[in-house]
Amino acid sequence: MSTRIVIAGLAAARGMALGRARLEQPSQPVIDRRPLAEGEVEGEAIRLTIALATARDELRQLRTKLHGALAREVGEFIDAHSLILEDPELTSGLYDLVRKGRYRASAALQMQRDRLAAAFDALDDPYLRSRREDIDHVIGRVQAVLMRDTTPAERQIASRVGEILVSDTIAPAELAHLTEHGVLGVITTGGSALSHSAILARSMRLPMVVGAHDALKRLGDDDLVLVDGSHGEVIVHPTAQDLARYRQFQRDQTRSTEALLRLKHARTLTTDGSEIQLYANAEMSADIVQARAFGALGVGLYRTEFLFLQRRELPDEEEQFNAYREVVLGMGGLPVTIRTLDLGADKIDSTGVAMSREPNPALGVRGIRLSMANPAMFETQLRAILRAASFGRVRILVPMVTTCEEVVAARRLIDDCARRLRSSGHEITDHFEFGAMIEVPAAAIALPSMIRHLDFVAIGTNDLTQYTLAVDRGNDALSTLYDPLHPAVLKLLAQTIATVQRSKKTVTLCGEMAGEPRYTALLLALGLTSFSMHPSSLLEVRQAIARCDRAALRRQGAGLLRAQTRVGIERIVKRMNK
Ligand code: PEP
Ligand code: MG
């Protein structure tokens, strides 16, 4: 019987998942540095051979599970890793270390890793240099095989359920493919609940715990593990009571889903009859299907950066046009807000366009700044969006705006692109709306002078909170400081909503707050009437709105803005949520 272990982390994506642990890149493999006795050498060489063969075999199996576009994208990585494992330079070096140097397999692997990493670090080509990570993944995989130490009985139960990925960190692009790999939950030792990966996990309904610092040390491959993404807890070797709690969670889940599904085609009304607009945030085609199914009034935020991730070349105009047109057609005439590229900060691509080596990427060449610095790339995207706009109602949204000049320049570029497209024979509508994300405090403060250049505004509270409070949204050490209920954030929100509404334009909030039912009443109190969220939150927010009296909440808005402390604000929000 294995002993139950509880590892505390931060709740990043709600829900529970039971599965067997799959360790990615064990950050600290147990390295046995005692030299081998002469009689142990051949046995250790055999252990190494078995570990290498197992790792190769696992990659092969993983490859066969992939289908369609996944097989192409993820398959490339797997092939690259398999090639590294076959590389005689790596393997013969390992056997030399074991046979001649009397190193144990784990120590030999570590030495080879360090040697190869140093060779990669010396390369000039940044892409090749970044491939050093592949070496780490491959060596980590073999180390994990060597370290595997679970009872056969447990392995038998575990083989019946899917996998829980355990890793140091996880990039949004990697996460996007996980569920199709049979991954049921994710645990990371670092990261924050506000990272793009966590946002994506929530949108995929993939339970996730981040900042579980000890997870890689205390978990082994194939350990049976229960991820509690609602409480930020990881339970290794769960007991019968834990499993009963998990089954209860599954039953509750089914029941609340049934209740929510009854709201699918309902209007979004407060108790006093105000109609509230609910839009969907989208990244992939599944989001569009869900947005339609749950009655979204359109797409309030289509993040285009996911087209640019995990690839070496930029997507060309045709590829982008096809992707955007698919979304526009998928929404069947409802408005689609396409945000231009927001690469940079934690959304780093491998095409080399975003400056991943900036000293301070969150304050660096990100969003509209990056697009303006790469006019050819920006124009390609704008042309693709404008062409897609002929197939439905498109609104163009630019991210990370700081100045009026950026807004004016972006608008001019769009008009130029439209003119050039028209003169080359394309039917381009002149009925597209142009908007800016308000997510930099300077833009929120300067909005009264910027608004005349805009048709609509989208508030990005994820970044607005990060930049107002000077708290990195991806840093788990600061997770308690990252607080969208900070009085300064609430003031900027109220001010932005009021400025846009005064000018009779539309304002939608599309940060994570919009999809959190516990913030619904608060946002209505601040005057918000248009929300955009991952489609999986639409029904819950509609249900929360149906419990709110908008007029009564509006009367409490001023008190909310007068509150000086977090405790004071929380007290008011609690009252509103009763
Ligand atoms: C935001 O910042 O709130 C937002 C919606 O954009 P992203 O999370 O993509 O930065
Ligand atoms: Mg943002």
Dist CA 322 CA 489 (whole Å): 38
DSSP state of 453: G
CB 17 within 8 A of CB 227: yes
Judge whether 510 counts as a catalytic residue. yes
Question: Whats the size of the chain, residue-wise?
Answer: 578
Q: 């955009």: which residue's tokens?
A: 532
User: What is the 226 CA–ligand 2 centroid distance (Å)?
Assistant: 32
List per-residue pLDDT tens for the chain, 578 residues long: 678 999 999 999 989 999 889 887 544 566 778 889 888 899 889 889 888 888 888 778 767 765 554 455 556 667 777 888 888 878 888 999 999 999 999 889 988 888 887 877 777 766 666 566 677 778 878 887 787 644 444 444 444 457 899 988 887 666 766 766 678 899 999 888 877 778 778 877 899 999 999 899 899 888 899 999 999 999 999 998 999 999 899 888 888 888 888 888 889 999 999 999 999 999 887 789 889 989 999 999 999 988 887 677 889 999 999 999 999 999 989 999 999 999 876 666 666 677 666 788 889 899 999 999 999 999 999 999 999 999 999 999 999 999 999 999 999 999 999 999 999 999 898 778 999 999 999 999 999 999 999 999 999 999 999 999 999 888 777 878 899 999 999 999 999 999 999 999 999 999 999 999 999 999 999 999 999 999 989 999 999 999 999 999 999 999 999 999 989 999 999 999 98
User: What is the 20 CA–ligand 2 centroid distance (Å)?
Assistant: 34
Determine which residue's CA is closest to atom 1 belonging to ligand 1.
460
Catalytic, out of 196, 237, 486, 534:
196
CB 380 within 8 A of CB 320: yes
Question: Phi-psi category of 30—alpha, beta or left, where left has phi over 0 and alpha has psi -120 to 50?
Answer: beta
Burial of 423 from C-beta contacts in 10 A (0-12 / 13-18 / 19+): exposed
Torsion of CA 118, 121, 125, 128, to 10 degrees: 70
User: What is the 460 CA–ligand 1 centroid distance (Å)?
Assistant: 5
Pocket probe mutation, ligand 1, options 370, 437, 465, 507, max atoms within 8 Å of Cβ? 437
User: What is the 383 CA–ligand 1 centroid distance (Å)?
Assistant: 23
The answer to pTM > 0.85 is no
User: What is the 551 CA–ligand 1 centroid distance (Å)?
Assistant: 29
CB 283 within 8 A of CB 203: yes
Pocket probe mutation, ligand 1, options 338, 466, 510, 519, max atoms within 8 Å of Cβ? 510
Determine which residue's CA is closest to atom 3 belonging to ligand 1.
460
Burial of 109 from C-beta contacts in 10 A (0-12 / 13-18 / 19+): buried
Dist CA 195 CA 188 (whole Å): 12
Determine which residue's CA is closest to atom 6 belonging to ligand 1.
460
Identify the H or E element spanning 434.
strand 433-438
Dist CA 532 CA 457 (whole Å): 12
Catalytic, out of 237, 417, 486, 510:
510
Residue type, 535: P
Pocket probe mutation, ligand 1, options 348, 369, 438, 439, max atoms within 8 Å of Cβ? 439
Residue type, 81: H
Residues 6+ apart with CB under 8 A from 511: 439, 459, 460, 461, 462, 463, 464, 465, 484
Nearest-atom number in ligand 1 for the CA of 305 is 9
Question: 539 vs 257, 295, 373, 527, CA distance in Å?
Answer: 9, 9, 40, 21
Judge whether 548 counts as a catalytic residue. no
Dist CA 16 CA 267 (whole Å): 30
pLDDT at residue 77, as a whole number: 66
Dist CA 542 CA 272 (whole Å): 14
Dist CA 546 CA 267 (whole Å): 9
Nearest in space to 364 (alpha carbons), one of 377, 372, 355: 355
Pocket probe mutation, ligand 1, options 342, 363, 509, max atoms within 8 Å of Cβ? 342
Nearest in space to 169 (alpha carbons), one of 195, 193, 188, 141: 188
Burial of 552 from C-beta contacts in 10 A (0-12 / 13-18 / 19+): middle
Determine which residue's CA is closest to atom 9 belonging to ligand 1.
303
Nearest-atom number in ligand 1 for the CA of 510 is 5
User: What is the 133 CA–ligand 2 centroid distance (Å)?
Assistant: 27
E strands along 360-518, which residues?
394-398, 433-438, 456-459, 506-509
pLDDT at residue 157, as a whole number: 41
Determine which residue's CA is closest to atom 8 belonging to ligand 1.
462
Nearest-atom number in ligand 1 for the CA of 439 is 2
CB 122 within 8 A of CB 64: no
Ligand 1 pocket by Cβ (under 6 Å) = 199, 301, 303, 342, 439, 460-463, 510-511
pLDDT at residue 160, as a whole number: 43
DSSP string covering 489-551: HHHHHHHHHHHHHHTT-EEEE-SGGGG-HHHHHHHHHTT--EEEE-GGGHHHHHHHHTT--HH
Nearest-atom number in ligand 1 for the CA of 281 is 5
Question: 364 vs 370, 400, 465, 524, CA distance in Å?
Answer: 9, 11, 17, 33
Dist CA 388 CA 420 (whole Å): 15
User: What is the 461 CA–ligand 1 centroid distance (Å)?
Assistant: 7
CB 458 within 8 A of CB 300: yes
Nearest-atom number in ligand 1 for the CA of 512 is 3
CB 432 within 8 A of CB 389: yes
Nearest-atom number in ligand 1 for the CA of 199 is 8
Q: 């993820």: which residue's tokens?
A: 74
Dist CA 544 CA 518 (whole Å): 8
